Structure 1
């Protein structure tokens, strides 16, 4: 990362400027000066990059929320030019781009961005794992979910999503083990508890309580969602009033 390199170079220069005139016996003074310069440079550059990113990212996210996807994505891609300056910046921007494409159901386009995404963004890690499942790569799916639950162990939907995907590929026993681990991390979580009981009884998991967060993973067809809505209404179609 450019920030680290520039800060380290400035620190080495400060060390030399102090120790060369004063003598090697004053190495401790050079080291102290180097540390101060390194931290100062690092913080100043970090603030500059953060400000520049905010100026791009905030309007981009507003465009995306307003469904002006193309403009938002274009601005996010423009922000990638700062990716080499700060650690994790590029990964976080890739996660944001990948999420937008995934939500739009442009899965092939989303995939390379999700692959380069931020491991602590559990939503995009989940999307990447789902993509691996759909591409018949179960080991990659499990590897991705494992990274996600280690980084974000307190996300109920993440544990249920992991188990759901395992159940989908026929690994119901493993799915129960995952939910049991999730329940250990989130004692008393009713959604995980209910899904664990359902799987043990050989029934389908209930993901609807997670709401729109669940729907963004596109694991249920629109037809299934409509059927669930109908069931809530007692199986009755909404009556059309004709004039």
Structure 2
């Protein structure tokens, strides 16, 4: 990582200069100055790099909103050049690109990007776990979800998605256990409690309560999604008429 090497080089040069100028008796002073310079250099370079990455992401988001998806992906790929400068950059960019392809339902193209996702991006990790589930790789699905809930334990939908995938694997016991763990992390979450009650009553989980955030995982049948969209449009028309 260039940032680490450059900052370390600056610190080392400062230590050597102080040793030469003040002698070995000033070793503690030399190390202190070196550490300060290392930290300052590292933070400065990190800020510069992250500013450039955020600019790229903002431009890509504007293109996505304007339906210029391919252009947005090309722009995001440009940010890979900063991966050698800053930790976790590659993972964050892979997450963004993988999510875009997944939302486009281009699952095969999304998969290699999602595999390299940033663990703290629970949405991309959820999409990766769903992909493993659809490929009948339950061990990988579980491993991915476990990593996601470790980093994002306060995300209600993540716990519900994890449990839902177990129901899709016909393992209601595992689904209940996941919901119980989620409720311990989010004791006031009524959605998780309601879904646990549904499973205990041998009913299906109610995921529609999570709205569009749930729909992005493409686990609802297309017919159901279309009905929801039509219902939402109907509601908008009624509100317009009332005005």
1:190 equivalent in alignment to 2:190:
yes
Q: Cα distance 1:50–1:16, how it changes in 2: closer, same or farther (>3 A)?
A: same
In structure 2, stretches of 5+ residues that fail to align are 233-243
Q: Cα distance 1:61–1:20, how it changes in 2: closer, same or farther (>3 A)?
A: same
Which residue pairs with 1:88 in the alignment?
88
CA displacement 1:26-83 (0-9 Å, x = unmatched): 1011101101210121122112212221232211111112221001001000111111
What is the alpha-carbon distance in structure 1 between the residues aligned to residue 230 and residue 86 of structure 2?
Answer: 49
What is the alpha-carbon distance in structure 1 between the residues aligned to residue 230 and residue 55 of structure 2?
Answer: 44
1:215 equivalent in alignment to 2:215:
yes
1:231 Cα deviation from its structure 2 partner: 9.1
- Alpha-carbon RMSD: 1.7
What is the alpha-carbon distance in structure 1 between the residues aligned to residue 207 and residue 54 of structure 2?
Answer: 35
Q: More helix per residue: 1 or 2?
A: 2
Q: SS in structure 2 opposite 1:191?
A: helix
Which residue pairs with 1:205 in the alignment?
205
Q: SS in structure 2 opposite 1:76?
A: helix
Which residue pairs with 2:236 in the alignment?
none
* Aligned pairs (5 A) from 1:1-243: 1-226=1-226
What is the alpha-carbon distance in structure 1 between the residues aligned to residue 198 and residue 30 of structure 2?
Answer: 65
What is the alpha-carbon distance in structure 1 between the residues aligned to residue 13 and residue 229 of structure 2?
Answer: 67
What is the alpha-carbon distance in structure 2 between the residues aligned to residue 229 and residue 2 of structure 1?
Answer: 48
TM norm structure 2 = 0.91
What is the alpha-carbon distance in structure 1 between the residues aligned to residue 46 and residue 229 of structure 2?
Answer: 48
What is the alpha-carbon distance in structure 1 between the residues aligned to residue 199 and residue 93 of structure 2?
Answer: 37
1:227 Cα deviation from its structure 2 partner: 5.2
Between 75-84 and 156-165, the greater mean CA deviation after superposition: 75-84
What is the alpha-carbon distance in structure 2 between the residues aligned to residue 108 and residue 53 of structure 1?
Answer: 26
What is the alpha-carbon distance in structure 1 between the residues aligned to residue 30 and residue 229 of structure 2?
Answer: 70
Number of equivalenced pairs: 233
Query: Contact 1:19 / 1:29 at 8 angstroms: preserved in 2?
Result: no
Q: Cα distance 1:167–1:71, how it changes in 2: closer, same or farther (>3 A)?
A: same
Q: Cα distance 1:225–1:51, how it changes in 2: closer, same or farther (>3 A)?
A: closer
Q: Cα distance 1:229–1:106, how it changes in 2: closer, same or farther (>3 A)?
A: closer
